[in-house]
Structure 1
């Protein structure tokens, strides 16, 4: 989910279409981290990737 400054609604970037292996899907997210710029990273266990 991305919330732009001043927006009244967020935009779904990943995980909004159910579990799966598509680039827009998550499958067992197990960890979250933010970088120094406020970007969120999600560790996706079954897809073996960080989004």
Structure 2
């Protein structure tokens, strides 16, 4: 499956986006609002992204 265990590059990629912006985007993707109950399959996706 293509989403399973992607290899992380040894040398970090250089982008035009500041690290702070990338971190904010990542947190927005994995933070779940209080009281929100996502579907169990979605929880697995969120867990993978948080790892």
If the TM-score is normalised by the length of the shorter chain, which range does it land in?
Answer: under 0.3
The TM-score, its normalising length taken from structure 1, stands at: 0.22
Larger relative contact order (C-alpha < 8 A, sep ≥ 6)? 2
The TM-score, its normalising length taken from structure 2, stands at: 0.22
* Greater C-alpha Rg: 2
